[in-house]
Amino acid sequence: MTGILKHLVDWKYWSDEDVVRVLDLAQRVKHHRWEYQGHMQGNTLVMIFQKTSTRTRVSFEAGMTELGGHAINLDWNTTNFTLSKIRFETRYLGRNAALIMARLKENADLLEMEKASTVPVINGCCNLYHPCQALADMLTIAEDRPEGIRGARLTYIGVYNNVANSLVSIAAPLGVHLTLVCPIREQGSIDEESRQRLLNEGLLTETLDAKAAVKEADYIYTDTWLDMEYFNDPGYASERDKRCEIMMPYQVNRELLEGCHAKIMHDMPIHPDYEIAEDMIEDESSIIYDQAENRLDAQKAIMLHVHRHMK
Ligand code: CP
């Protein structure tokens, strides 16, 4: 392979043109599924997980299968990444695989993997970013809005976390207006560069008035209040309780959404009756399963795009 090595750590590192291009490709792949059958023939994706997953695992593996390639799933704890340096193990992976998708806990480890890799590395969610989810979210809005994605108004209600960072960074190139209702902002977890860009472009509103924010929204999005891996961990029980107390007035429920015509989004997995009332999950205004389904075509588009750069 002689082309340019293109990784996906977050959308902020891609040009605006490439972000638009990859969303267009995701839509094209979705509507012409069998045209792309075989585009990854003879190629292997290595997926490596330090954390649990349902959608990321399934959508990448199914996506690779449908594109004619093969995916290998590695649980970090059963690999020799636990015994050696990220650099050496990553260098080896590039000798046998065409692509790497990694869900690592720490962004710093992902950057180390990116630096060492001789094949594209795709971020399957780290502490700072969740770009694959953000593309699926934009695909969902683009598919839902006859007038197109530009000008869509998305309200995110939740903790300012990795999902929020990637929504902020993908919104600018796609012309999506984002309203953030984030009562909890952890120090060191906010990508200020992407936030400032969206503010400067007049595409970001920040408020704690959730009632007003949902009234203006076309789409309302929420996410877990505490990283999934910690939610049922007794060691995080007091942090979870503290967050629940702060966040409960911001729960997405019927009362909050009264008089609002927006569609409801959630990246899943869901903690019913925490960030969202259980009866809203399958309400007629919910497009949560469409959003999850769209992970497949988003993942295919990302893999095709970064792989083409290598040719
Ligand atoms: N939204 C998401 O990334 O789902 P999983 O954690 O199940 O992969």
CATH number at residue 279: 3.40.50.1370
Q: What percent of the chain has pLDDT over 90?
A: 92
Q: Which of 47, 50, 53 has most ligand 1 atoms within 8 Å of its beta carbon, as the pocket-test mutant? A: 53
Which residue blocks in 153-293 are alpha helix, DSSP H?
Answer: 162-174, 192-200, 210-215, 228-231, 237-247, 278-281, 288-293
Q: Are residues 77 and 172 in the same domain?
A: no
Residue-range definition of the domain harbouring residue 272: 133-287
Name residues whose C-beta falls within 8 Å of residue 105's C-beta, 6 or more positions apart in sequence. Answer: 50, 51, 126, 127
Residue 2 pLDDT class (50, 70, 90 cuts) = low
Higher-pLDDT residue of 99 and 233 is: 99
Own/partner pairs for 252-258, CB < 8 Å, 24+ apart? 252/157, 252/220, 252/222, 252/276, 252/277, 252/280, 253/277, 253/280, 254/279, 254/280, 256/210, 256/211, 256/214, 257/214, 257/220, 257/285
How do residues 128-155 score in pLDDT, each as one tens digit? 999 999 999 999 999 999 999 999 999 9
Number of domains in the chain: 2
Q: Is residue 3 included in any domain, yes or no?
A: no
Q: Is residue 4 included in any domain, yes or no?
A: no
Name residues whose C-beta falls within 8 Å of residue 118's C-beta, 6 or more positions apart in sequence. Answer: 5, 91, 94, 95
Q: Are residues 138 and 123 in the same domain?
A: no
Q: Are residues 199 and 300 in the same domain?
A: no
If you ran DSSP here, which 8-state letter would residue 253 be given? -
Mean confidence (pLDDT) of the chain: 96
Q: Are residues 115 and 152 in the same domain?
A: no
Secondary structure class of 241 (helix, strand, coil):
helix
Give the pLDDT mean for 110-115: 98
Ligand 1 lining (C-beta closer than 6 Å): 53-56, 125, 133, 267-269
How do residues 288-306 score in pLDDT, each as one tens digit? 999 999 999 999 999 999 9
Of all protein residues, the one whose alpha carbon is nearest to atom 7 of ligand 1 is 54
Residue 310 pLDDT class (50, 70, 90 cuts) = confident
Residue 45 pLDDT class (50, 70, 90 cuts) = very high
Q: What is the pLDDT of residue 232?
A: 83
- Type of residue found at 290: D
Residue 208 pLDDT class (50, 70, 90 cuts) = very high
Q: Nearest Cα to 226, choosing from 215, 237, 213? A: 237
Q: Are residues 297 and 263 in the same domain?
A: no
Taking the C-alpha atoms of residue 258 and residue 237, their distance in angstroms, rounded to an integer, is 32
Residue 3 pLDDT class (50, 70, 90 cuts) = confident
How do residues 5-35 score in pLDDT, each as one tens digit? 999 999 999 999 999 999 999 999 999 999 9
Higher-pLDDT residue of 170 and 310 is: 170
Of all protein residues, the one whose alpha carbon is nearest to atom 2 of ligand 1 is 55
Q: Are residues 236 and 300 in the same domain?
A: no
Q: Are residues 138 and 282 in the same domain?
A: yes
Q: Is residue 1 included in any domain, yes or no?
A: no
Give the pLDDT mean for 82-87: 98
Res 198 pLDDT > 90: yes
Q: Is residue 186 included in any domain, yes or no?
A: yes
Q: Is residue 152 included in any domain, yes or no?
A: yes
Residue with tokens 């690999």, as numbered in its chain: 79
Query: Concatenated DSSP letters for 79-131?
Result: SGGGTS-HHHHHHHHHHH-SEEEEE-S-HHHHHHHHHH-SS-EEES--SS--H
Q: Is residue 109 included in any domain, yes or no?
A: yes
CA–centroid distance, 118 to ligand 1, in Å, is 26
If you ran DSSP here, which 8-state letter would residue 285 be given? T
Q: Are residues 208 and 265 in the same domain?
A: yes
Taking the C-alpha atoms of residue 87 and residue 106, their distance in angstroms, rounded to an integer, is 15
Q: Is residue 41 included in any domain, yes or no?
A: yes
Taking the C-alpha atoms of residue 189 and residue 181, their distance in angstroms, rounded to an integer, is 16
Of all protein residues, the one whose alpha carbon is nearest to atom 3 of ligand 1 is 56
Q: Are residues 59 and 155 in the same domain?
A: no
Q: What percent of the chain has pLDDT over 70?
A: 99
CA–centroid distance, 253 to ligand 1, in Å, is 22
Rounded to two decimals, the pTM is 0.97
Res 101 pLDDT > 80: yes
Q: Is residue 249 included in any domain, yes or no?
A: yes
Q: Are residues 165 and 274 in the same domain?
A: yes
Q: Are residues 244 and 299 in the same domain?
A: no
CA–centroid distance, 82 to ligand 1, in Å, is 23
Q: Are residues 65 and 161 in the same domain?
A: no
Q: Nearest Cα to 221, choosing from 293, 159, 298? A: 159
CA–centroid distance, 94 to ligand 1, in Å, is 25
CA–centroid distance, 213 to ligand 1, in Å, is 26
